[in-house]
Each structure stands twice: as structure tokens, then as C-alpha cells.
Structure 1
Amino acid sequence: MASTFSLFSPAELSFAQVPLAHSAATSPPSSSSADPPPLRLDGRSPLQYRDIVLETGFSHAQGALGSARVVLEDAAGAGGGGATEVVAGVRGEVDDMAQGSAGGKVIVSLECAPTALPALKPDLAQHLATLLSTLFSPSALPRPLLSQLVVLPGSKAWTLHLDVLVLSSAGGNASDAALLAARAALASARLPATRSIGFDDAGDATAGGEGMTVDEGFSGLVKGGKSGTKAVDFELVDGGEGGVRLAGWEDLPVGLTLNLINQLPHLDATTLEEAASSSQLLAGFTPSGAVCGLAQLGEGEVEFARVMPLLSDAGKYAQDLLRTVNAKLRDA
């Protein structure tokens, strides 16, 4: 049963449900004489994404270390012809490390502009913010990335503020757009080059040592300084040529949304298809396919026997999405 919160008439919802009541698993093979399942209003199969516009490095406002913009266009007639647009940016500051902490941290914030609210389900923002925080928590982030955030071992580390803003949701699937924008902004972020400041064995102050390159200065911070020098502070290095890209960005978690009708999934829903869905599963996965975050939205129930098969399939879709996005981000 569709959610009671809807911008569409019962006739529109019923019309949208027809092609979505099929899944790839129940579709007949191409050689079969049976009629193929009906396509969605914009010509896609249930498990097919639209073309995703992904742009990185589009903004350097407020000293952003990385930024990304994701746009999903809704073809006219498939839900109104609007577009979903989400932007994300990464800011950094050096904080004191918490006792027992192994590295830096990422703090995620999610905001929805007033222009995005009419088409959003009421509970989406809360669940999406929780999933984003889970995906970028220390337990889910790659270890090389966390280690690189350390500036002075046991003392100072980078805190990265990952800000996500949903500008419009008229194209549907604001959840996946936000997850992709957040991941792309962090994956393309570059830390400013730094250099350690300490005292050598003679008690003289040093600043990374003569002849030390930017990379050596950065590495020296992580290792505690050059031999005979104890790093006690650091300084930013000008002319770092854009900074140092985060190590292990390829292994950042990825998330997607399974929209369900008759317990069957479809991906990348338009606003009409979201309204026609009984429920949604927002799931996050590591690159290996392990679940690292999960939330359910909507009034419909998910049969217990269907949960694990759905998550297993979602993990495969997420890995396909991960490979596609990483290929795009490789040269970011």
C-alpha cells in the first residue's frame, strides 16, 4: 500500500506500479516467447539507474577541501519533469585527539533546502542523516584514511566536516544522490600539506629540517619527525599543489535505496515511483559487500524471509555502483 503522503492521484500511483511489480529475477529470458515485462514510464527496467551527473571540485567556498554535485533528471511524464540536485563539501580543522583515538574523524551534517521539502518523505531526512553518519564513522572508514588524518601522533588530527545539502528533490531518489555526493566530496578531498615543528637533540627549534620536501614533511608528522627530532607542533606549507589526496578513498562505503512494491525492488525511483512504493530500504555497504548501515522508511512491511535476499541483491547492486563511481572519481 502506498504512503498516505502523496503528491499524486490514486490513478497515477496505480499506473506507476504496473511495471514496478516485476523484477529482474521474474523477467522471462530474451529467448522466451512470453511478453517481456513492461518498462517504467521513462523506459528503464526496474533495476536500472538513470544517467547520473556527478561533478567534483566545483566549489572552493569557505576553504572547501573537496566538493561534489549530483543531479538526477526526471524525464517529463515520469513524475513531473523536475530534477534532484544535491551538493556536498568537505571542510577541515585540526583538533586535539580524543584519548584512545586511533586517528581523525569525519562529522557529517545534512540539510534540506526549503525548495526540496515538498517532494521529500517526512522521515527521509532523519534516517538519511543517521545512515550518512554511520557510513563515515571510524568503524566504517578505511584504516589508511584514518591514519592519514593524524597530524601529531597521540596529539593532533584532522576533523573533516562533511556538509551535505539537498537543493531539490523534484527528480526523486534524493537519498542516493546525497549518499553519492557525500562519498564523492570526501573521495576527491585533499588535505593541505603540512610540516612538523620540533626540537632537535641540541634543543634548537626546527621546521621540518633543511631540504625536506612537502611530502617528507607530511610523512614526518605521522612518524613523529626525523631522527633526533621530536615533533611538538606543525605548520601548513604554502605551494602544496592542491594538497594530498586521502589514502584509501576507493574503499569508502557506498549506499543505495531499494524501493519496494509487492516485496520486489526497484532502483533510482522518481517522485511518482517513490510515492507508489510501499516501503524503502536505505542500505550502506563496504566494498566487500558487507552491510554497514540499514534503515527502513514507509508504512509497508518487509517480510522477514525477504530481508536477507534483498540485502544480498542490494550488495551486488552497490558493488556495481561502486565500480562505476570509482572509475569516474579516479581522475578527480
Structure 2
Amino acid sequence: MRDMRIETGMITQASGSCRVSIDGGTDVLVGVKVEVASIEPDANAPGDDGDVAVGEEGVEEGVAGRDRDRGRIACTVECSPSATRVFDPRDVEEMSNEFSQLLERVLNGPHGGIDLKALCIVPGSTCWVLNIDALVLDYGGNLLDAIFLAIRGALHNTRIPRATVEYSDGHVEFEIADEETEIVKGWEDVPVGVTMNKIGSRHIVDATPIEELCAAARLTVAVNRRGNVCAVQKGGKGGIEPSLLAEMVQSSKHVGSALLERIDAALRQEVERIERREDPVGFRH
């Protein structure tokens, strides 16, 4: 993989932020804004839509019922005009929607890492919502993987105000502290994305724009720090043979585990850099 550079705390008005740039052009800025919101009314009536989800223990549970005591994450991916010169505007819109939906499914899913229950303030009533906005500043290939990395860095940098809940005479009141903050619980379990592009009968990682144009299909695998596969999404018009698919997943797990070690080491250096007010650091994979 190409060299990467990471820097956190870029946006002063955000609850957390991170910028990731890849040698060769790709540059992504992610900001996280936390806000208090009502738990959606549909979440108070389990089973209304008939959807089910498989929990960590393999038991099916109503999605609506599960969300009554959990916060949620909203993701938006946008591209700046300067980053989209090589794309048709329609393709940019489709790509942004695809990436936004994938990120929301992963981060709100059972293996997204974030402790969604810790984002609940008053069960069935009020919760924290993490609004994650990713802005593509420049494009040089391997865009989705860079966004995953920037989200992990931004969540590491995010601080949530401490909420105090009081119960009195059947009423519930909560107060948001002005100074006290908490980290996002579970950020360290947020997966990174590893995209493998199929060219001919083989596959490559960290594709450049030209390599992406040569690829018949791509496979994005979300891998957490335990080496577990959290999500898989296939893209491109070509097919992937079952044997090659298994090989691509295994390669993604290997690359993802190594990448997580390096980005977490870079984040630790970034904390030290901020304390010393020094220039950003990079990390090599």
C-alpha cells in the first residue's frame, strides 16, 4: 500500500475530526458532530415493519425493539468539485449514496464496533446521534478505504458531553454538562475497509485510478481488530469466482489486521503530536 498521512482535530467546531491523505492524490476529511435527538417513534413499536436482525448470539430480534435503548449513527459522503473531474456527475451521486449507505449499515450493525447502547440517554425517548460527514477533497484511488480510516480517526478524536439523568415523581430529566466529556465507547472496535480490485484472474489492494478502471470487479471487506469480517460488499459489473472470492476475503483480513495496527500506532503518535504542537505524522504500510 502507498504511504498515508493522518491528522486529527482539524475542524474546531466539530466534536471530532480526522484527515487522511494517500500518496498519489486521495484526500479525505471526516467530521463528527454529536447532537441530542429523540428516539424515532417507529423504534417504540417493535415488529411493526417485520424486519429482523441477528444479534451477537445468533438470536433474531426486532430491529425496532432493539433500537429503543440505543443511539444511532448517520453518515454522509460528499465530493468536492475539484475531486470529481474524472467522474460523471451522475456517477458521483451514485457513489456517494452507495458509500453513505454502506457506512451506515456497518456502523449501526451488530459488528460496527460503536456501543450504541452507551449513546442512549433516556431509553425509549432520547439519545445521542453521531453525524459523520465525509468530504472527499481529492481523488487518487482507493477512496472507500481512506474514508473508513478517516472515520476511525475521527471517532478516536470525538468527545461526547456527559449526560446526567435524574428520575423524580415519575418524570425523567437529563442535563448535559458544559465541560465534562466522554470518549466514544467502542471506537477501537470500529472496522477498517479493505478493497480488493479484480484484474484478470488476480486481485490487488490500494488501487490507483488507472488500476480501478482496469478492474472488472471489486470487493470491499470490513475487518475489525480481532481479524473478524464485519461486512462484505461487491461492486463492479464483473463476476468473481467462488475460489477467488474466498482468497480475496482472506487477503483482506490479513491486510486489514496489519493496517489497524499501523493506524492505531499513528493515532497514538497523533495524540502526542497535538500535545507537543508539532507537525502531522504519517504511517507506512
TM-score if structure 2 supplies the norm length?
A: 0.76
| Pick aligned residue for 1:162 from 132, 154, 169 | 132
Counterpart of 1:84 in structure 2 is: 26
| Identical residues among aligned pairs (%) | 33
Counterpart of 2:177 in structure 1 is: 237
Counterpart of 2:283 in structure 1 is: none
| Pick aligned residue for 2:143 from 170, 174, 177 | 174
Counterpart of 2:2 in structure 1 is: 50
Matches within 5 A, 1:173-192: 173-192=142-161
Counterpart of 1:69 in structure 2 is: 19
In the alignment, residue 134 of structure 2 is paired with which amino acid? Answer: V
Counterpart of 2:11 in structure 1 is: 59
After TM superposition, the runs of 4+ consecutive aligned structure 1 residues lying more than 4 A away are: none
Matches within 5 A, 1:268-287: 268-287=206-225
8 Å contact kept, 2:161–2:179: no
Structure 2 unaligned spans of 5+? 45-64, 272-285
| Pick aligned residue for 1:132 from 97, 103, 106 | 103
Structure 1 unaligned spans of 5+? 1-48, 75-82, 204-229
Q: How many residues align?
A: 241
8 Å contact kept, 1:289–1:319: yes
Counterpart of 2:123 in structure 1 is: 153
Counterpart of 2:54 in structure 1 is: none
8 Å contact kept, 2:28–2:147: yes
8 Å contact kept, 2:145–2:192: no
SS at structure 1 position matched to 2:147: helix
8 Å contact kept, 1:90–1:160: yes
| Pick aligned residue for 1:313 from 221, 232, 251 | 251
TM-score if structure 1 supplies the norm length?
A: 0.66
8 Å contact kept, 2:9–2:16: yes
In the alignment, residue 86 of structure 2 is paired with which amino acid? Answer: A
- Computing the radius of gyration from Cα coordinates, the structure with the larger value is 1
Query: Which has the larger helix fraction?
Result: 2
User: Which string of whole-angstrom CA distances, capped at 9 and with x for unpartnered residues, describes residues 272-296 of structure 1?
Assistant: 2222323221221233333332222
SS at structure 1 position matched to 2:238: coil
Against the structure 1 CA distance between its residues 163 and 311, is the aligned structure 2 distance closer, same or farther, given a 3 Å change threshold?
same
Per the TM alignment, residue 164 of structure 1 is displaced from its structure 2 partner at its CA by 0.9
Query: Which has the larger strand fraction?
Result: 2
8 Å contact kept, 1:54–1:71: yes
Per the TM alignment, residue 158 of structure 1 is displaced from its structure 2 partner at its CA by 0.6
8 Å contact kept, 1:66–1:91: yes
Per the TM alignment, residue 196 of structure 1 is displaced from its structure 2 partner at its CA by 2.9
